[in-house]
Amino acid sequence: MSLSIPAPSQGNLFKPGYQSLDSEDGAVLRNIEACRAISQTVQTSLGPYGRNKIVINHLQKMILTSDAATILRELDVVHPAAKLLVMASQQQDAEMGDATNLVIILAGELLKKAEELLRIGLKTSDIVQGYEKAQNFAMKVLEVDLEVDRLKELRSQTELSKAIRTVVASKQAGTEDLLASLVSEAVLAVLPKNPANFNVDNVRVVKIMGGSLEQSRVVKGMVFGREPEGTIKKARKAKVGVFSCPIDISQTETKGTVLLKNAQEMLDFTKGEEERLEAAVKELYDSGLRVVVAGSTVGELAQHYLNRFNILVIKILSKFELRRLCRVVGATPLARLGAPMPDEMGSIDVVETTEIGGDRVTVFRQEDSNTITRTATIVLRGATQNHLDDVERAIDDGVNVVKAITKDPRLVPGAGATEIQLIERITAFADKTPGLPQHAIRKYAEAFEVIPRTLAESAGLDATEVLSRLYTAHHRAKESSGSSSSESGEEDGGSASEEEEIYWTTGVDLEGESPSGTLDAADEGILDLMASKNSAIRLASEAARTVLSVDQIIVARQAGGPKPPGPNPNWDED
């Protein structure tokens, strides 16, 4: 009979209510299970034919999108390990604005492969070590060998559209050419002399319901979906004052009763206030202001005097939009009504009201090419608000990618070609690695298969058949590169032969035009940005390694106190 030693209890170590999940409870496997659940949620949304999700958030707002970053932001994920994946995806969104789905799916697949290794007896330390080696090798291969093109001229609309097209196509398949040209036109309108100083906030989006997407256009300037308040609708080369306070008669805090005995007293009653308000507006006029932007209400009497002095006034109730406009015109928002100092005033070249699809909008435009606060607005038209929101997300990704392009203009083949090539290279690296980590390196390579497989499945193709054709094409590339390098020796510095280029850029044909289900991604212009691919692989690998390194989760009891009352469902009943 064996002697059983009781496990140390955590009797009085923690306060009552703590939960502790350690490795004996299979904490690592539980974490992997949670991460795979969130990975499978967004997996079907990958690529141009990815499925949309409807998420109804805690405010009962409906969000319809296939953008992983938006889906995960709206879902309230509570599992600590799954939160790590969500944070990695959000980091990718903040840095690159694209490939957020790739981070989640790849991290989930890496954890799934790690689970297989754990079940056959490998230690997590061996898996983490193997994954780290494989990640370093994958980064090196991506940087050195997989570049197929680079943007030579950032100020060319055709060149810029080439990089933006694939990013937009992954969210809005079918309209990528239209949206890519809109984004590139807007970006070129605001691109500064040094492209590295490009600010994504200078490209705005205004959504106007009605019409079709083809009627969308770029307006050089900042567009607000409302008309000016008064009769003055236009101004040129004008000084601008921005007020965050109400432009009206100041209200007293106390209430009083006034007894009026005759008509003359009634006329005299408001005269003092009228004179004060007129003096305030005249003060604005004398300081040189011809455009007033109000962040709050504009009183009727104030409006009357502003019209008399030919001052254009527009209300902008969003404080974020007000802040952006201040940056465009170079003004300081004032919390008091009065003439601004010369350094608090801004200036604008043109303020005009135009009509877009039956809606009157106001455009603030800086025409001087040297101004660094130039802004371009993409005016989107569409049938439903949900569709417009989704197109806006695609445009947002496209604009963010331009920021990444200014740092690294290199492109790699898309449509799963890069992933298949990485599988080939990392598997060959695993064969040369001694010890237990080689199993982890091989599994790391296999994890990349999830990308082309998901792309093929979402396009309705036979994934197994397409993958076998891709492997065949890339294997032929390996053989031809081996034979070409042995024939050419040192002469051409190991450059790839024409034949090899045709093979190793082979990706999944989502349109289904090719009978084999594959195409040459580089020829078709399906190109991903190397910087975003690099960042996604790095973040996914690090998130997976972090989850695998956790062997215990200790969860404190939630803070006490009664739950806050929810909204009253019968609020509108008498």
Residue of 91, 90, 95, 96 lying closest to 71 (CA atoms)? 90
Is the pLDDT score of 434 beyond 60? yes
3-state SS, residue 122: coil
Cβ-Cβ contacts under 8 Å for 151 (sequence gap 6 or more): 159, 160, 162, 163, 405, 409, 411
Mean pLDDT check: name the lowest of 251-265, 319-333, 493-507, 531-545: 493-507
Buried b (16+ CB within 10 A) or exposed e, 303-320: bebbbeeebbbbbbeeee
Residue 446: CB atoms within 10 Å: 18
Q: How confident is the model at residue 512 (pLDDT cuts 50, 70, 90)?
A: low
HEC secondary structure over 486-506 = HHHCCCCCCCCCHHHHHHHCE
Cα angle 569-572-574, degrees, rounded to a multiple of 5: 115
How far is the C-alpha of 201 from the C-alpha of 471, rounded, in Å?
42
What is the per-residue pLDDT for 484?
44
Q: How confident is the model at residue 543 (pLDDT cuts 50, 70, 90)?
A: confident
What is the per-residue pLDDT for 413?
79
What is the per-residue pLDDT for 371?
59
Taking all residues of the chain, what is their mean pLDDT, rounded to a whole number? 76
CA 255 to chain centre: 51
**Helix boundaries (H) for 220-270:** 263-269
Q: What token pair was written down for 240?
A: 């601008």
Residue 268: CB atoms within 10 Å: 10
Mean pLDDT of 343-354: 81
Is the pLDDT score of 498 beyond 70? no
pLDDT tens digits for 91-101? 887 777 777 88
How far is the C-alpha of 330 from the C-alpha of 348, rounded, in Å?
9
Q: How confident is the model at residue 13 (pLDDT cuts 50, 70, 90)?
A: low
Is the pLDDT score of 10 beyond 60? no
Buried b (16+ CB within 10 A) or exposed e, 334-354: beebebbeeeebbbbbbbbbe
Is the pLDDT score of 4 beyond 50? no
How far is the C-alpha of 245 from the C-alpha of 430, rounded, in Å?
66
What is the per-residue pLDDT for 487?
39
Cβ proximity of 392 and 205 under 8 Å: yes
Mean pLDDT check: name the lowest of 48-62, 299-313, 359-373: 359-373
Mean pLDDT of 449-460: 82
Is the pLDDT score of 205 beyond 80? yes
The CATH-assigned architecture of domain 18-148+414-478+518-555 is Orthogonal Bundle (1.10)
What is the per-residue pLDDT for 540?
87
What is the per-residue pLDDT for 267?
75
Q: Where are the domains of the chain?
A: 18-148+414-478+518-555
Pairing of strands 235-243, 333-334: parallel
Is the pLDDT score of 569 beyond 70? no
pLDDT tens digits for 525-541? 677 788 888 888 888 88
Mean pLDDT of 437-453: 84
How far is the C-alpha of 11 from the C-alpha of 551, rounded, in Å?
20
Mean pLDDT of 59-68: 78
Residue of 507, 499, 556 lying closest to 527 (CA atoms)? 507
pLDDT tens digits for 377-422? 888 888 888 788 888 888 888 888 888 888 777 888 777 788 888 8
The residue written with tokens 């141009």 in the block is 48
What is the per-residue pLDDT for 187?
82
What is the per-residue pLDDT for 489?
37
pLDDT tens digits for 166-203? 788 777 777 777 888 888 888 887 777 777 777 777 78
How far is the C-alpha of 537 from the C-alpha of 422, rounded, in Å?
11
DSSP 140-181: HHHHHH---EE-S-TT-HHHHHHHHHHHHHTTSTT-HHHHHH
How far is the C-alpha of 413 from the C-alpha of 146, rounded, in Å?
8
- Residue of higher predicted confidence among 537 and 248: 537
pTM given for the model: 0.76
Mean pLDDT of 215-231: 78
Cβ-Cβ contacts under 8 Å for 60 (sequence gap 6 or more): none
Cβ proximity of 164 and 184 under 8 Å: yes
How far is the C-alpha of 186 from the C-alpha of 204, rounded, in Å?
9
pLDDT tens digits for 71-89? 877 777 777 778 888 888 8
Q: How confident is the model at residue 21 (pLDDT cuts 50, 70, 90)?
A: low
The residue written with tokens 């590139």 in the block is 184
Is the pLDDT score of 283 beyond 60? yes
What is the per-residue pLDDT for 20?
59
User: Measuring CA to CA, how many Å separate 312 from each of 175, 236, 340, 377?
Assistant: 39, 11, 16, 21
- Read off the amino acid at residue 475: H
